[in-house]
Structure 1
Amino acid sequence: MQKITILLLVLFHSLLACAQVDVVALDQYFQQAQKDWNVPGLSIAVVKDGKVVLAKGYGVLEKGKTTKADENSLYAIASNTKAFVSASIGILVEEGKLHWDDPVQKYLPYFELYDPYVSKHTTVRDLLCHRVGLGTFSGDALWYKTNYSAEEVAKRVKYLPQAYEFRAGYGYTNLMFIAAGEVIRAASGQPWDVFVKERIFKPLGMERSQTSTSALGNLSNVAIPHKSIYGPSEPIPYAGWDNMGAAGGIISSVSDMAKWMNLQLNQGKFEGKTIFSAQTQEIFWTMHNSNRVSAAQKQRYIQRHFSGYALGWGIADYAGRVVISHSGGYDGMYSQVMLVPEEKLGIVVLTNSMTGISPNLCQYTVDRYLKLPLKDWSKEGLSGELEHQAERRKIVETRKIAQVKNTSPSLAPSALVGKYHDPLYGTLEVKIGANNQLELHFPHGPQLDATLKHWHYDTYEIQWKENHAWYDFGTLQFVTDNNRKVIGIEFDVPNEDIFFEEIHAKKL
């Protein structure tokens, strides 16, 4: 009898905790935010004390269509994949198949960075916390819409420049998680995606989750990406991210992600199954790389004292609690996962737009559960988003204004034609196509092919043959020596992620 009474009391307090927040009001707030931000569609799940208290979609799967988003709609979660990769590494550590501080070269003998000492001493742990010395997003042009395999991408990392001292700074690098995926393959005998499906998706019942866009053709209820970095949303096709899948390739629904969040909030256990131990999770959530907390951040986030990166997760404090979170950015889709372990609270927001709505809705939800003073995070975030979009447009417009009108190229097209080679990226080709139009060809990424239209002097506008999510305008300059012989090409493609400027191709 006493045990039954205790169980009833526990159940009562659990239900009371969930009831403390008006979920209907949350639902209305999310609905209004989707309209205010003019986001085509999004889906949200909130878990509390092991229960899913809300799982719902808002808006539509594709702009101009009528099919509604719901809790089972699939979206690319992008860099929220990184926590799955860290979890996979943790599982392998528990099985004794590798160790956190093993040198990467033990599993990938070809692995090299900018310095022999760093190459030799970079560990599996280092791959997962952005401290190897590479700049943020440096090298993303290596994998973006190229046919390089994950292994080939990892082999070319050695050509990237050092941005800061080894283990003495922060540079968010997708390439190291690509390498981590290859470590999983070497240690387990399975590709990272197969490992994740068998060891995480299957036991959690994440039945709709996928690891490649190639699987989406046979599925229904799939959200369509939208390009929206400059403002109004425009539907675009899915981009293949298979070669960088370990850094951002998972596609999931909020219903499935709710299970993932409850696994995390229950220290590696889910419905009686242990996926990884509580001790291993402590390692996932231990800060390995600290960030400076600015005055603006302290003002924006209540009682913010520290911020940094753990292993596949961001970590910070907020109003006296530790917050574990991560964002994701895919071509046409942004997402956010936010966990407050002490409250057993988790929120996931998946969207089919490239706007910052997700973290603001997560933060608003956290505030409601912590009973903090009411703050309209959506309104404040939307103001910042519009400013950011304006800044992006201004960067492009500044380049367009700088165009010198009525100039002519000093070099004949025949002098520009040929192959150009960059050790990092490989070979590019300039050729003359239909109607005597100069064309830029990417042998390793034909989706990036473009025509070249004279801009000014010996600089040409890159007119992409396909629509790309992160950028549109760009120019290509032909570089000459003192004798007017073409010796190379240099890019200027303004955007925040895919740095064509890292390609310095010399004419062969």
Structure 2
Amino acid sequence: MKKILVSVVGLFSCVMVSYAQRIDRSKFIKDSLDFYINRALTNWRIPGAAVCIVKDGKIVLMKAYGIKELGLPAQVDINSLFMIGSNTKAFTATALAMLQTNKQLSLDDKVNKYLPQFKLEGKPADQVLIRDLLCHRLGFQTFQGDFTFYNTNLSRADVIKRLGMLKTVYPFRTKWGYTNAAFLTAGEIIPVVTGKSWEVYLKENIFAPLGMTNTVALSADMPKSLNRTVPHTLIDGRLSPIPYCQIDGLAPAGGISSSINDMSKWVLALLSDGKVGQRQVIPAAAINVTREAQDIMGRVKHLNGETNYELYGLGWMIQDYSGHHLIMHDGGVNGYLSSVTLVPQDHLGIVILTNTDQNNFFEALRWEIMDAYFKMQYRDYSDTYLAEFKNDAAVEQVADKKLRDSVALNLKPAFPPSSYTGKYTNDLYGSMTITQGENNDLEIRFEHHPKMYIHLQPLGGNRFYATFSDPTLGKAVFPFIVKNGSVKGIRVKVADFVERDAYDFTKAP
């Protein structure tokens, strides 16, 4: 089977080299896009995908590709569900903007008016506005706290409480920092105002009126859905199905699962000022307010040589690109990556859904489609991104091999295994327990990740090689903290995809 796959990849590559030399850019969407996508799915090892292009109020392309789960024959269709991750945020921001248009709240209301329990650094957050929650300017750095909040058993109330315990990195409103728990907090204002949960409000006021009949708001509903894809990731270089993440404690930040058919209806409405036919489903004013720039994210450099500022609105990223104003967002959760792009003045919308979190094709395809419509040079973004992806993967594999080679040396830890065992606590996260495994190996179990564990293998001294049972959390080196000849704590680090800073856990006496 592997030999067949390699041969197919080689054939596609050879054909595409000659094809790129004679490509007619003006006919790319009509004549070449299908071939381009199929080739890329093979090269990237993407099991399934779905793509939609909307132009001038009509669907130009809506097509599903590949399979729902590796090793099984079921094909993806236009109604198959994918988790859309942070593309959920635009729905949450739009819902709150709709409530503002209906004069049920103002985005400039203080959060404490609706959630008096909301705090920052342990103090009442009396200066924070709803708008601040929706544009990531509370003073946290990107993904701060997400190991505690993401894919855990914490309730929404627990997340809001723990968000108030985080120490901000920047002064309030001075720097952009992507904060998932802030969007959860914003979403929890909806039931206070309407008497309906976030998920019920979205279903009744957005999903149902738009005809998004297959879309579900909660990750708990995804495994129950009959027509659903399965998430995949790379485990030791091998693409494998993985469990669905359970992120309903952060649902307004990333919980929605949808199909390409349903997402086309969302994009068509957004590009039609909220109308479906003659029906005004979403107020135009609500759509417009989400597209107003609030923060500077940073500078972005495109492959065509342009460098522009990337801004953030309310649940949307905003860019200028070759004279075109882009409204866009990416979404990523365990096993899924997606993108939604709107180019309002060109009446263009693009949705891309994939069921593996190990690809940049979801991003490459968006630029390829836009360049075709903007009559720009053909660049083959997919191959360019793939070369970078493979290079990064090779660097990671070399580093990991060095650690595994060190483990194979059977280096003894500085203390007997029993010295490292016991209960450990972190003020933000809570507790975890370390027990002794075989030989000098250890195992960590976490209070709020009941289905996840970490296998620790000695690297000599007080350093251990950590392998997570959840592969999306990565691999790392965990050092134990030792003072006065005894173990006092351990430093835990998950993949940057989840959180960038480490957690220090203190050993209980």
Tell me the TM-score normalised to structure 2 length.
0.88
Q: Which residue of 2 aligns with 1:26?
A: 33
Name which of 330, 349, 352 aligns with 1:349. 352
For residues 254-290 of structure 1, the C-alpha deviation after alignment (integer angstroms, 9 at most, x for no partner) is 1100000011111122233323322222210011011
Distance 1:374 1:175, change over 3 A: same
**1:478 and 2:485 matched:** no
**CA shift digits 1:397-448 (9 cap, x unpaired):** 5655777955433333443332222110011122347899643221222112
Offset from partner CA, 1:35-73 (integer Å, 9 cap, x none): 232211111011111111111111211222222222222
Match of 2:10 in 1: none
Q: Any residues of structure 2 matched to 1:163-242 within 5 Å, and which?
A: 163-228=169-234, 231-242=237-248
Asked if 1:378 is matched to 2:378, the reply is: no
Query: Is residue 274 of structure 1 aligned with residue 268 of structure 2?
Result: no
Letter in 1 for 2:154: Y
Matches within 5 A, 1:407-418: 407-418=411-422
Cα 1:389–1:189 change in 2 (3 A) is farther
How much is the aligned-residue C-alpha RMSD, in angstroms?
2.5
SS in 2 for 1:430: strand
Judge conservation of contact 2:82–2:257 (CA < 8 Å) in 1: yes
Q: Equivalent residue for 1:444? A: 448
Query: Any conservation in 1 of the 2:232–2:239 contact (CA below 8 Å)?
Result: yes
Q: Which runs of 5+ in 2 are unaligned?
A: 1-25
- Distance change >3 Å, CA 231–CA 462, structure 1 → 2: closer
Spell out the pairing of 1:267-416 with structure 2 (5 A cutoff).
267-293=273-299, 297=301, 299-301=302-304, 304-354=307-357, 355-394=359-398, 396-397=400-401, 405=409, 407-416=411-420
Q: Aligned residue for 1:13?
A: none
> Paired residue for 1:69?
76
2 CA distance for matches of 1:366 and 1:239?
Answer: 32
- On the 8 A contact 1:323/1:338 being kept in 2, the answer is yes
Contact 1:105-1:111 within 8 A present in 2 as well:
yes
Q: Which residue of 1 aligns with 2:462?
A: 458
Task: Report the Cα distance in structure 2 between the residues aligned to 1:436 and 1:318, rounded to whole angstroms.
Answer: 55
- Label 1:494 to 1:147 Cα distance change in 2 as closer, same or farther (>3 A): closer
2: CA distance between counterparts of 1:366 and 1:49? 14
For 1:394 and 1:201, the matched residues in 2 are separated by 46
Deviations, residues 174-210 of structure 1 (Å, cap 9, x unaligned): 1111111212222222221111111110000101111
CA contact (8 A) 2:412 2:440 kept: no
Q: Secondary structure at the match of 1:233?
A: strand
1:348 is displaced (CA, Å) by 0.4
State yes or no: 1:131 paired with 2:127: no
Contact 1:261/1:346, CA 8 A, preserved across alignment: yes
Number of the residue aligned with 2:157:
151
User: Could you tell me how far 1:237 is from its partner in structure 2?
Assistant: 1.7
**Aligned counterpart, 2:14:** none
In structure 2, the CA distance between the partners of 1:112 and 1:503, relative to structure 1 (3 Å rule), is farther
SS at match of 1:69: coil
* Secondary structure at the counterpart of residue 481 of structure 2: strand
**Helix, strand or coil at the partner of 2:435:** strand
The equivalent of 1:15 in structure 2 is none
Instruction: Give percent identity, aligned residues only.
Output: 35
Q: Which amino acid aligns with 2:482?
A: T
Q: Hey, what's the Cα distance between the residues in 2 that align with 1:395 and 1:182?
A: 42
- Give, as a single letter, the amino acid of the residue that structure 2 aligns with 1:279: A
C-alpha spacing 1:442/1:302, structure 2 compared with 1 (3 Å): same
Are 1:249 and 2:255 counterparts?
A: yes
- 8 A Cα contact 1:480 1:486, kept in partner: yes
Answer whether contact 1:40 1:352 (CA < 8 A) is retained.
yes
SS at match of 1:306: strand
Match of 2:64 in 1: 57
Partner deviation per Cα, 1:160-182 (whole Å, 9 max, x = no partner):
23222221112111111111121
Count of aligned pairs: 483
TM-score in terms of structure 1 length: 0.88
Q: Give, in whole Å, the separation in 2 of the partners of 1:231 and 1:249.
A: 28
- Give the partner amino acid of 2:412: S
Q: 1:500 to 1:373 in 2, by over 3 A?
A: closer
Aligned partners of 2:463 and 2:478 also within 8 Å: yes
SS at match of 1:237: coil
354-363 or 263-272, which deviates more: 263-272
2:492 is matched with 491
CA separation of 1:373 and 1:499: change in aligned 2, threshold 3 A: closer
Counterpart amino acid of 2:251?
A: G
Which whole-Å deviations, capped at 9, do the CAs of 1:444-473 have from their partners, x for residues lacking one? 221122343333222333344x343241x2
Structure-2 change in CA distance of 1:229 and 1:430 (3 Å): closer
Distance 1:288 1:392, change over 3 A: farther
Asked if structure 2 preserves the Cα contact closer than 8 Å seen for 1:21 and 1:369, the reply is no
* 1:116 CA displacement: 4.2
Q: Which residue of 2 aligns with 1:93?
A: 100
Structure 1 residue aligned with 2:147:
141
* SS at 1:25 equivalent: helix
Q: Distance in 2 between matches of 1:156 and 1:378?
A: 40
Q: Provide structure 1 residue ranges, at least 5 long, that are not aligned to the other structure.
A: 1-18
Out of 258, 269, 280, the residue aligned to residue 263 of structure 1 is 269
- SS at 1:132 equivalent: coil
Which moves more between the two structures, 381-390 or 96-105? 381-390
Cα 1:186/1:302, change in 2 over 3 Å: farther
> CA 1:396/1:171 → structure 2, altered by over 3 Å: closer, same or farther?
farther
Code of the aligned partner of 2:480: F
Aligned to 2:5: none
Question: 2 CA distance for matches of 1:392 and 1:92?
Answer: 47
Distance 2:220 2:496 in 1: 27
